[in-house]
Chains A and B, each alone.
Chain A
Amino acid sequence: MSDSYVVLETSRLRKDFGGVCAVKDVDMEVTSGTITALIGPNGAGKTTVFNLVTGNYDATAGSVRFTDAAGATHDLLGRRPDRIARLGIARTFQNIRLFGEVPTLDNVKLGLHSRTRRGALAALLRFPAAAEERDVHDAAYRYLDFVGLAGKSHELARNLPYGEQRRLEIARALALAPNLLLLDEPAAGMNPQETEDLMALIRRIRDLGTTVLLIEHDMRLVMGISDRVVVLDHGEVIARGVPGDVKNAPDVIRAYLGDEAI
């Protein structure tokens, strides 16, 4: 980690929905090679920040800057989601959004889509060469194996148990070879053992060089694997730092538990 850099930087990021300010002047930095957790009470604006980063929402004001694996920095605001995905940001969803009617392996192949095609229409139209098709197949299989779903490559995504669907979504996101992976409540609905496995998986992802930014309510997971924690409340950053410091910050306790808890 000697040459770490800032992968994602938001500056005075703001999003209004009508008269409601969901995200207010958020300044946030995500350093390469780390796991950063974005936490906060329900409705704090965490998922909105994700949607601003991935281009699903247009920001009202501010900026989002992203540095790709090659070291080039891009201004993300105003870019379309597919462009941002191709720059190297992949995500999962709070409510799982797999292509349910197709096999798990094909879900991962769709993640590989942006990498295997060459842009030109001619390249899209041609039938993939057998060798290339085999490469895609093998790569997709490796990602499934990485998240522990190698044995389920032919099952329809919607037939997988909930925890496995979450892991499949991670595999599909990883197939984009992202420099930054956004995970929106990856442990939601998981039992303690599944959460434990997930923590190990997220650590492995980081160790292989993908920076992780995650939203999570499970504090055991957050405190267990995060290098940095950013706390949002009512759309504003109220605390940031290493997990130990954030855990005891008065503002954080007040946001979660109310004034009486101090």
Chain B
Amino acid sequence: MSSLLTPENLVNALSLGALYALIAVGYTMVYGIIKLINFAHGEIFMLGAFWALMLVGAEQATGINLFVAIVPAMLLCAAVGMSIDWTAYLSLRRRLPLADWMSVALLAILGLGAIAYKLTGDTTHTWHSETAHGVLRWAVIALVPVTMLALSIGEKGGLLGRSLGRVTSDRLSALITAIGMSLILQTLAQLIWGADYRAFPEDAIPAFMNERVGAFDVVGLPVLGKELAIWVTALAMMVALNLLVTRTKIGTAMRACSMDQETAALMGISVDRVIAFTFVVGSAMAAVAGILYAVKVGGNISFRMGYYPGLLAFAAAVLGGIGNVRGAMLGGVLIGFVQGFTGGAFSVPFAVMILVLLVLPRGILGEPQATRA
């Protein structure tokens, strides 16, 4: 094991931890308010990297600096996150017939658009047959959740909910919808950007990102500029988020909604707006994480890139105590450390999560479940 305790691993662990924490807070904030594991969150992370890639130029550099591209990518991801809430989850929460039909219509448009895009042909780059098969397979996989989604929306969980009776709760419909949303976004990303791995063009990334930071050599840590950028950005965003949640009015409203939505509404708080805002904040942070992750790893931007980090960040949120923002930050860092010091092992972080949950079933900072008369 001692060979794993290297300075390189420490730097890697810190960076992974910072990135997982950035994603995990999005899971935990949404869960804290609407008790939903938003599995589409990992795809927001992926979209963040793709939006930035489009802005800095996928084939040829547009001359836009990557740091400049972060802000519009955040805004776009925030918009996508909010749209997911409005189209998929809001109708489940509110049971509005109109919203149901709107989301069905939107899904139909998305599907038809994707098919049209495919039929008109993507002439800019060739797809080899393996890719085409991949698309087909993903389309079929996506059909299942889409169908389930369509069947589960509506009064009392829709057709699916009615046939399953009391087994299907509101939360289960929402969870299945979230998984469906995740696959829809992955499939769409593959249809739009293809299945190849992409990288940010060299000249879009500021030179210092790939240079050693001299100050850290003194303590014997091989820190590249990009690692430092990840640490500083993540830290700044965590501090900002903490201030937002504890000091601002919208933050107060978020906390009130996570404690008791119904009572919060009777205090004049627009719960739907607070939830939408939560998606906006979480998505913007995931976008930043996606971009920084792509910079760190290099050449890994693909429709699949959100899956594994998303799953790990989810584990981090659970480990820290889901619903607790500080817990998610802590969990993210811990998961990053476990993975970093085990040489990037895929399974060990989950094993650690399970072990911790055996002792602390609600996670490290999880509060005991509130009982209500």
* A interface residues with partner B (beta carbon < 8 Å): 54, 56, 80-83, 85-86, 90-91, 93, 95, 97, 99-102, 109-111, 113-117, 121, 124-128, 172, 176
User: If A124-B248, A124-B250 touch, does A114 touch B262 (CB 8 Å cutoff)?
Assistant: no
CA distance A146 to B263 in the complex (A): 22
Known A-B contacts: A83-B270, A113-B268. Give 8 more (CB < 8 A): A97-B263, A99-B256, A101-B367, A113-B249, A113-B253, A113-B269, A114-B269, A125-B250
Instruction: For residue B325, give the distance in angstroms from its CB to the closest CB of chain A.
Output: 15
Chain B binding site: helix, strand, loop or mixed by DSSP?
helix
Task: Assess whether A125 is in contact with B262, with CB atoms less than 8 Å apart.
Answer: no
B202 at interface by CB-CB < 8 Å: no
User: If A113-B253, A124-B248, A127-B247 touch, does A99 touch B268 (CB 8 Å cutoff)?
Assistant: no
B residues near A113, Cβ cutoff 8 Å: 249, 252-253, 256, 267-269
User: If A97-B260, A99-B260 touch, does A124 touch B268 (CB 8 Å cutoff)?
Assistant: no
CA distance A90 to B256 in the complex (A): 16
CA distance A21 to B243 in the complex (A): 48
A residues near B370, Cβ cutoff 8 Å: 100
Give the size category of B's interface with A: 20 to 34
B265 at interface by CB-CB < 8 Å: yes
A residues near B244, Cβ cutoff 8 Å: 125
CA distance A91 to B263 in the complex (A): 9
Pair count A-B, CB < 8 A: 79
B residues near A117, Cβ cutoff 8 Å: 249
Task: Assess whether A128 is in contact with B373, with CB atoms less than 8 Å apart.
Answer: no
Which partner residue on chain A sits nearest B256 by CB separation? A110
Task: Assess whether A110 is in contact with B373, with CB atoms less than 8 Å apart.
Answer: no
B264 at interface by CB-CB < 8 Å: yes
Pick the contact of A85: B249, B268, B373 (CB < 8 A). B268
CA distance A117 to B272 in the complex (A): 16
B residues near A86, Cβ cutoff 8 Å: 268
Instruction: For residue A75, give the distance in angstroms from its CB to the closest CB of chain B.
Output: 19
Task: Assess whether B266 is in contact with A85, with CB atoms less than 8 Å apart.
Answer: yes
B136 at interface by CB-CB < 8 Å: no
Task: Assess whether A81 is in contact with B260, with CB atoms less than 8 Å apart.
Answer: no
Most chain A Cβ neighbours within 10 Å, of B260, B262, B270: B270
Task: Assess whether B249 is in contact with A114, with CB atoms less than 8 Å apart.
Answer: no
Interface flags, B23-37, vs A, CB<8A=1, else 0: 000000000000000
Enumerate the 7 nearest inter-chain pairs by beta-carbon distance, A residue then B residue, closest first: A114-B268, A81-B265, A85-B268, A124-B250, A86-B268, A82-B265, A95-B373
B271 at interface by CB-CB < 8 Å: yes
CA distance A115 to B268 in the complex (A): 8
CA distance A85 to B270 in the complex (A): 10
CA distance A76 to B248 in the complex (A): 30
12 interchain pairs, CB-CB under 8 A: A80-B272, A81-B265, A81-B266, A82-B271, A102-B259, A111-B267, A113-B268, A114-B269, A116-B249, A121-B250, A121-B277, A128-B248
CA distance A91 to B266 in the complex (A): 8
Instruction: For residue B264, give the distance in angstroms from its CB to the closest CB of chain A.
Output: 7
Which partner residue on chain A sits nearest B262 by CB separation? A56
Pick the contact of A124: B249, B259, B264 (CB < 8 A). B249
A residues near B367, Cβ cutoff 8 Å: 101
CA distance A77 to B133 in the complex (A): 53
User: If A95-B373, A97-B260, A100-B370 touch, does A90 touch B250 (CB 8 Å cutoff)?
Assistant: no
Instruction: For residue A117, give the distance in angstroms from its CB to the closest CB of chain B.
Output: 5
